[in-house]
Amino acid sequence: MTRRTYFDRSARLTFLGFVIGSLGCGFSTAGQPPVYPVKGKVLFRGKPVTGGVVIYELEGGVSPGTHTAERGGPLRATGRIESDGSFRLIAFPGAEGVPAGTYKVGISSLPPRTEGNLFELAKSATKGNPDVLQGRFADPSKSGLHTQVIDDKPNEPTFDLK
């Protein structure tokens, strides 16, 4: 009878973490549809928007077989806009990407509120409205922005807003 060492346990845990982590690209987890990576860029008058949120809302309602379908709300994916204007979307916890389909898009240049940036938001509000888009594109159903997520090609949209 052999004793298992710390290395054996560590190797197994590392392998398990690798297997679980590799399931996020193009695979379905926990009864959810497969997701495909979406990374893009948001520009305003040709220059990168330096913060905010991108929201994809599935046209036609919900994606069958999801927790959202059970609640009756639309499937939504969100992503934070980075300082260079780039964003990546997440529709389900633990899996970066979005199911294939046609989406209405909402974009806000106001960063999401968190405990860490609350003070910065308060400071920027005293300097004027930090929302360079002035809320015009924030609501996916009213923004006029649409895009498709396709399963067999890169999904890298650029939204150049005027």
* Mean pLDDT, residues 116-128 taken together: 50
> What are the sequence ranges of the domains in the chain?
6-161
pLDDT tens, position by position, 62-78: 544 444 445 457 899 99
> What local confidence, expressed as pLDDT, does residue 69 receive?
44
pLDDT tens, position by position, 21-35: 444 444 445 578 899
Q: Check residues 34 and 129 and name the one with the higher pLDDT.
A: 34
Q: Please give the span between the terminal C-alpha atoms of the chain, in angstroms, as a whole number.
A: 72
Count of Cβ atoms closer than 10 Å to residue 44 Cβ: 19
For residue 38, give the nearest of 128, 157, 136, 159 by alpha carbon: 157
Residues paired with residue 97 on neighbouring β-strands, in sequence order: 90
| pTM of model > 0.85 | no
